Amino acid sequence: MQTLLGRTTEELEQMAREMGQPAYRGRQLAQWIYRRGAESFDAMTNLPQPFRAALNERLTLGRSSVAHRDAAPDGTIKYLLQLGDCEQVESVWLPYEDRVSVCVSSQVGCAAGCTFCATALGGLARDMTAGEIVDEILTLQAEHPERRISHCVFMGMGEPLLNYDEVIRAVRLLTAEVGLSPRHVTISTVGVVPGILRLAEEQLPVTLALSLHAPDDALRETLIPTARKWKLAEILDACRTYYRKTKRNLTFEYLMIADVNDAPDQAATLARLLEGLPGNVNLIPFNYVETPQGFRRPSPDRVRAFRAELEAAGRVTTQRMERGHAISAACGQLRRTAGTLRPRGVREAGRTLAELTPAGAR
Ligand code: SAH
């Protein structure tokens, strides 16, 4: 059945007219869905009963249900949300003193295959719809009426730029309908060049975060299979274009794995690689996932030395605040332990990137 979540005010107005109602009923629907977080048509008390009945007959709202919650002592709560077809995705509630951020998923699973990432293990099941992505924010907001979500980061399951159209539609709904500032939305990518170039043209001042994780292609390819398709030179060129068109600083994420990519001379190479490209480096010590390579987290001293090297080269460097460590709040970890990670067909897990890159982004 079709869902209402995912439609803009204009589309809801159009639908209301088609159902023989005045257009303002569509605006009321948008208010109920996106601003007030209504969870059923019956809750929409200022709509005429026959209209609500007609909606109930033809459509669903499209909200998820909470399958599991996992709270850490620092206030981080990881949610496992169940979608209409019983697939499950993760969303994380990240409260800070001055703001609340939510980390959202953009795909059920992921095809990128990063060797350090828990989501990669199950392959890709399917893309999420814009409505399902917006629902993550609405559902976590409903869990915490006392605080207002102000920030949204696409750092949950999936590669947002391989689900480009639905992700951009979701961002437009989150800004126009739910009320988030585009500047408070961060899209994190493994480096999907056509997606970065398309995003540069959207007139959407979001923050772009690039998952770098290595200062050269040879090492990067051992961590991120898509690095074979898109080389660093090409990715960083796309980032330069993004900066030139949007004037938005980027964030460079650097996952640190002991004895793999955490040596001071690798920091120096990284600093040279990024010369002339504005943006902070954010260091993320590896969150433990069992891997065939036996990846480990580097010691705090090692992280400090790496950071000092970058800073000596003039690069502003931050370290990801350790949030939710106790509940394994890294990409895909909750679904592995608490969820229904179903084995995928060979074809699904083995779909190639060419197949997965949206035609318009190729
Ligand atoms: N596909 C996108 C967004 C999802 S992952 C991307 O790659 O950017 C969000 C971030 O979490 C990425 O920087 C990713 O590399 C990181 N991440 C994945 N597994 C991790 C782990 N085990 N420990 C720490 N960070 C991890």
Q: Read off the pLDDT of residues 88-128 as tens digits, 9 standing for 90 and up.
A: 999 999 999 999 999 999 999 999 999 999 999 889 999 99
Q: Give me the pLDDT at residue 352, please.
A: 33
pLDDT tier at 335 (50, 70, 90 boundaries)?
Answer: low
Mean pLDDT of 17-45: 96
**When comparing pLDDT for 308 and 329, which is higher?**
308
Q: Give me the pLDDT at residue 324, please.
A: 64
Chain segment 205-224, per-residue pLDDT in tens? 999 999 999 999 999 999 99
Residue 60 pLDDT more than 60?
A: yes
What DSSP designation does 86 have? S
**Atom number of ligand 1 nearest to Cα 295:** 22
Residue 274 pLDDT more than 70?
A: yes
Q: Give me the pLDDT at residue 320, please.
A: 77
**Percent of the chain topping pLDDT 70:** 88
What are the DSSP E strand ranges found in the chain? Answer: 65-71, 77-82, 88-95, 100-103, 107-109, 124-127, 151-154, 185-189, 207-211, 250-256, 279-285, 317-319
**Residue 49, exposed/middle/buried by CB under 10 A (0-12, 13-18, 19+)?**
exposed
Q: What is the spatial distance between Cα 67 and Cα 82, in angstroms, rounded to a whole number?
A: 6
Residue 190 pLDDT more than 90?
A: yes
Q: What is the spatial distance between Cα 85 and Cα 148, in angstroms, rounded to a whole number?
A: 29
Output the CA 52–ligand 1 centroid distance in Å: 42
Q: Is 152 a catalytic residue?
A: no
Instruction: Determine contact, residues 122/169, Cβ cutoff 8 Å.
Output: no
**Considering only CA atoms, which of 94, 257, 52 is closest in space to residue 184?**
94
What DSSP designation does 211 have? E
The helix (H) or strand (E) run that includes residue 168 is helix 164-173
User: CA-based Rg of the chain, rounded to a whole angstrom?
Assistant: 21
**Atom number of ligand 1 nearest to Cα 158:** 1
Q: Give me the pLDDT at residue 121, please.
A: 85
16 Cβ closer than 6 Å to some ligand 1 atom: no
**Percent of the chain topping pLDDT 90:** 85
**How do beta strands 77-82 and 107-109 pair?**
unpaired
Q: Give me the pLDDT at residue 361, please.
A: 39
pTM to 2 decimal places: 0.91
Q: Give me the pLDDT at residue 278, please.
A: 94
The one-letter amino acid at 91: S
Q: Whose CA is nearest to atom 1 of ligand 1?
A: 159
Catalytic residue (one of 110, 114, 239, 331): 331
* 272: CB partners within 8 A, 6+ apart: 313
pLDDT tier at 327 (50, 70, 90 boundaries)?
Answer: low
The helix (H) or strand (E) run that includes residue 53 is helix 49-58
**Atom number of ligand 1 nearest to Cα 333:** 22
Residues 298, 311, 285: CA angle, nearest 5 degrees: 20
Q: Give me the pLDDT at residue 145, please.
A: 96
pLDDT tier at 336 (50, 70, 90 boundaries)?
Answer: low
**How do beta strands 124-127 and 107-109 pair?**
antiparallel
| Helix, coil or strand: residue 95 | strand
Q: Give me the pLDDT at residue 241, please.
A: 97
Instruction: Determine contact, residues 139/63, Cβ cutoff 8 Å.
Output: yes
Q: What is the spatial distance between Cα 236 and Cα 233, in angstroms, rounded to a whole number?
A: 5
Average pLDDT, the chain: 90
Chain segment 250-265, per-residue pLDDT in tens? 999 999 999 999 999 9
Chain segment 132-161, per-residue pLDDT in tens? 999 999 999 999 999 999 999 999 999 999
Q: What is the spatial distance between Cα 175 and Cα 178, in angstroms, rounded to a whole number?
A: 6
Handedness of CA 251, 256, 260, 261 (dihedral sign): positive
Catalytic residue (one of 90, 136, 159, 253): 90
Q: What is the spatial distance between Cα 99 and Cα 156, in angstroms, rounded to a whole number?
A: 19
| Helix, coil or strand: residue 312 | helix
107 Cβ closer than 6 Å to some ligand 1 atom: no
Mean pLDDT of 29-37: 97
Residue 325 pLDDT more than 90?
A: no
- Quote the tokens at residue 29: 């629907």
